[in-house]
Amino acid sequence: MTDDTNPFTAMMAQMQELAKAFPQMGAFDPAKGFDPKAMEAMWPTMPKEVMEAWFGNALNENGLDAKTRLLITLAGLTMQGAQADVAVRQTVRHAREAGATDQQISETLGMMAVFAGVPAMTRAMELAQEVMADSEDKT
């Protein structure tokens, strides 16, 4: 390596440049701090066809489809206590795009009351309802 720059110093400089770009993207305002919802808005929902190709049974015709995989993921996130708000909301968005109905999402979460506990299920349901309410307002 002919560059005498410390790799850690170079990485920190790159991260500082990225942090400077966050205000333009709306995810971080130095006066208000980090806004997780703004950061979440930067990640769009994948089209159903993409999810089916990447996460579904496109390459494994007898495997699980994307909708089922996403409902399982939602159950897993709930089992962890529904602490990852962004991940739960994104998974609900993706599951709906993959064909899951609000009823199927609610049933998946309701079943988690037995395995993850009522507080985790309730928190996951609140997050799912946020997504459902947001998309109803846009239609």
Alpha-carbon distance of 49 to 85, in angstroms, equals: 25
The dihedral through the CA atoms of 43, 137, 75, 37 has a sign that is positive
**Range in 3-17, 20-34, 51-65, 113-127 with the lowest mean pLDDT:** 20-34
Q: Per-residue pLDDT tens for 33-56? A: 666 666 667 667 777 787 777 777
Residues in a beta bridge with 33: 29
Q: Per-residue pLDDT tens for 91-115? A: 999 999 999 999 999 999 999 999 9
Residues in a beta bridge with 28: 34
* pLDDT value, residue 100: 96
* pLDDT value, residue 28: 59
